[in-house]
Structure 1
């Protein structure tokens, strides 16, 4: 058969579960002798929409490039560019059957396109995108949404100009398109009974329209690839997680449980995380949670790395409603006990091979791990218990699908009213354009009102500015006159300062002359003082001589008689010397008075001259 596998993205652009499954399925079908073409969406940009065909291993992959897609989780599902390109691929390749894995990044009328071309289609519903544009029923705040009727307006991303009414109509158009897709599909497959129950409830799909076909595992370990490990109850409990380190996978719940257990006395755990993160902020959050704990981030990994780490138990704490879980298949093949949330297919599939905990509850998860550490025999019991349903090999899965493909290919596709589909879209677009025209008209009126108000305010501001300018001119004129007056006063003061400066220079010259006179008088006084001091010294010398003579007189009382005549003569001489000394003192006093009188007269003359100049 010529089988077209259709998927939203394909490795190596993205290698999540659906993409890896589609790749492994296509290879399995080729190995079984079928012709298989993969048609995938792409994040690759191009100047205009087109189809890029490349060989990839044993497969031919056609990617839709340059097809504009809105960012985020949006409700619009129809894409005209993808519609045209898909029709071209169908016309050129003419497959016997189309197996649609997902509509995302393509267009929401893909099955209708196949029906209009007379090509039967099988659809696998891998997630909850039919009833939730966010894919997994997880709100932006991380809480799970299990209601059938959901206020999706709060969760859907939109453009700034989109109103709630427009989003409501977009949801209605989306629901009608996808309901038609389900009606036209030759067979609707779901990977698990849990997915059938959930979609029947939230998407209102009759359960008998959904056929459960467990997915084939993209990874298969040969027998004996993993040796059985027997925990002895003494060493640490080795806990492993592998897959994307993404918020929806709940890896933070695992590390929060690790932090809860870290505070206990008997905390013997090792934590191993394998995988990479595309969200740097989330990666930083995980590493912050792991600080100080025995946590190892192994980064990107090969599946042989998982087997080599020899875990005691695997934990997959997803917050989503998982519809199958390939990592669970891998844990089963490794013979590992597993812990999974009590939500979705994993809880149904583990059977006796594992235990469940409350989704998103790190304390409940910590309680389960604490129990396994304290009761290691439970790990042994789980190792030897069988999961529900086991692991399906890709070859066995391909055989199951071959039967479904053959049965579907002989069915006549239901009739599709292409015009009705486009009438729905055109009606929605016309209403959308009418709403936007109305909003534009309202905005135009609002803009005109704003412009009129702006003109009025500008006119008022202009008048105010003119008044301010007139007032400013008046104040500037007054300030100019005041400045001129100040300049005139400054000129007069400068002239006065000039005259005072000249007078000061003259006074400076007079003071210099006075200082010279004072210096000369001081010199003359110093000379006379020196002379007076010399005379006083001479007098003191004579006084000393007289004292010596008197002493000699007293000492020589015995010679008084002989020396009377001589003493009388000497007495007369001494009297003469006293008179000379008194005369010297008188002369010295007169000299001082004369000098002081002369200095006083000169100083008075200088003072009179200075006083006359000051006046």
Structure 2
């Protein structure tokens, strides 16, 4: 299993999902993980092996910050470490979760070693260097054309690229995709994006994320007319997550609470103006302690302004019996049925979000009529069984 970050050092959605999948796969298979770590106190490209919760993990040190776009996707030194790794473990299949900060040559290296390659898509990275189809000015990119990509590169990296460089880059990424046997997509939106952008639909497989449903405890909640509602946000506190929209919408409510669970980091100075007696920046949390977080939240808000493909937090909320308010685009809109297990709103529209939150604040019993169920969430056992069948298919 190849992934650009892995617990306990990286705990975003793709990393946590990959960890859970590996744990389930290891019950019937021998699983090795190849990942990176950022340790500024050790030499670059040194690596070490460890047993992490029963998983055999090789962590390669890559502490240098990426200053150019090329640094972000091509790395001959990572290639060399990976090739040695494959020679040592001799895997039957290589399953990739993400290649950012590693090297896009890894699929070709695996194929040359006789290993079929499966890739789980977590974003748009194989077709959009930012991975999120969003421009530096936070506007959604509806067309990842050569011209639009060049504009993004010039505004983000110090590369002196022209349109021909972009064409070479995009041709390279298409070659990377050609080395992959199957691409798994957890949302129809993401699958359709790749299909509409030239990927052979025979390679594309819809496969929802699986979850360890024994970890999150469901709780039946009943609300009265005077119940005080606790809205919650879980995730990285960064602009594309729509955090500013959420804070501005919530400030116009009167008697609810808002809990922000996620690392604020250097943005704290910019967000302090939003702090009042009803807004709490609770900091990051260990995913193993997720029940403590979900216990506080009555309604989860996922206001992202980019095409999130299948947010884990939405499905984690459903397992806990918590309704979700989310943006009406991408995989978010696939997961939440408006008026059934939550509400959707016009992406980026502060007033639309405020209207929904205010309606819940004024009439909390609305929540009693929602049908939030964990049955629509796939188990990690079903997920792993399906993935194993795909492994057999490509062998």
TM-score by length of 2: 0.90
What CA distance in whole angstroms lies between the structure 1 residues aligned with 2:323 and 2:64? 44
Cα offset for 1:16?
0.7
Aligned twin of 1:423: none
Cα offset for 1:237?
2.4
Aligned residues: CA RMSD: 2.2
Equivalent in 3, 10, 14 of residue 7 of structure 1: 3
Cα offset for 1:144?
1.7
Aligned twin of 1:286: 271
What CA distance in whole angstroms lies between the structure 2 residues aligned with 1:48 and 1:330? 36
What CA distance in whole angstroms lies between the structure 2 residues aligned with 1:181 and 1:209? 13
CA offset digits 1:172-218 (Å, max 9, x no partner): 233222212222212111111111122333x3324443111001125
Cα offset for 1:69?
5.9
Aligned twin of 2:54: 58
Equivalent in 106, 126, 129 of residue 130 of structure 1: 126
- Quick check: 1:123–1:185 contact (8 Å CA) kept in 2? yes
Equivalent in 234, 237, 242 of residue 226 of structure 2: 234
Change (3 A) 1:296 1:237: same
CA offset digits 1:417-467 (Å, max 9, x no partner): xxxxxxxxxxxxxxxxxxxxxxxxxxxxxxxxxxxxxxxxxxxxxxxxxxx
Asked if 1:118 is matched to 2:114, the reply is: yes
Provide structure 2 residue ranges, at least 5 long, that are not aligned to the other structure: none
Higher relative contact order (CA 8 A, sep 6+): 2
What CA distance in whole angstroms lies between the structure 2 residues aligned with 1:95 and 1:164? 38
Equivalent in 273, 279, 290 of residue 295 of structure 1: 279
Asked if 1:326 is matched to 2:326, the reply is: no
Taking the TM superposition and a 5 Å limit, the aligned residue runs for 1:414-433 are none
Change (3 A) 1:69 1:405: farther
Structure with greater strand percent: 2
CA offset digits 1:405-425 (Å, max 9, x no partner): 11112xxxxxxxxxxxxxxxx
Change (3 A) 1:327 1:76: closer
Number of residues of Structure 1 aligned to a counterpart in Structure 2: 386
Cα offset for 1:7?
0.5
Equivalent in 181, 191, 214 of residue 176 of structure 2: 181
CA offset digits 1:220-265 (Å, max 9, x no partner): 445xx34322221223222122222222222221111012x24xxx
Equivalent in 20, 24, 37 of residue 24 of structure 1: 20
- Quick check: 2:329–2:347 contact (8 Å CA) kept in 1? yes
- Quick check: 1:109–1:177 contact (8 Å CA) kept in 2? no
What CA distance in whole angstroms lies between the structure 2 residues aligned with 1:233 and 1:286? 32
- Quick check: 1:67–1:81 contact (8 Å CA) kept in 2? no
What CA distance in whole angstroms lies between the structure 2 residues aligned with 1:190 and 1:272? 31
Cα offset for 1:347?
0.8
What CA distance in whole angstroms lies between the structure 1 residues aligned with 2:354 and 2:109? 50
Taking the TM superposition and a 5 Å limit, the aligned residue runs for 1:90-239 are 90-149=86-145, 151-156=148-153, 157-159=156-158, 162-165=159-162, 168-201=163-196, 203-217=197-211, 220-221=214-215, 225-239=217-231
Change (3 A) 1:284 1:268: same
What CA distance in whole angstroms lies between the structure 1 residues aligned with 2:281 and 2:209? 29
- Quick check: 2:6–2:35 contact (8 Å CA) kept in 1? yes
Aligned twin of 1:378: 366
Aligned twin of 1:256: 248
Structure possessing the higher radius of gyration over alpha carbons: 1
What CA distance in whole angstroms lies between the structure 1 residues aligned with 2:246 and 2:209? 27
Name whichever of 369-378 and 184-193 sits farther off. Answer: 369-378
Change (3 A) 1:176 1:73: closer
Asked if 1:344 is matched to 2:330, the reply is: yes
Asked if 1:35 is matched to 2:27, the reply is: no
What CA distance in whole angstroms lies between the structure 1 residues aligned with 2:323 and 2:220? 12
Structure with greater helix percent: 1
Cα offset for 1:285?
2.4
CA offset digits 1:286-330 (Å, max 9, x no partner): 23123x351122223321212332x33111111221111110111
CA offset digits 1:485-512 (Å, max 9, x no partner): xxxxxxxxxxxxxxxxxxxxxxxxxxxx
Change (3 A) 1:74 1:230: farther
- Quick check: 1:69–1:105 contact (8 Å CA) kept in 2? no
TM-score by length of 1: 0.59
CA offset digits 1:382-417 (Å, max 9, x no partner): 2x2558x711121221111111111112xxxxxxxx
Change (3 A) 1:174 1:218: farther
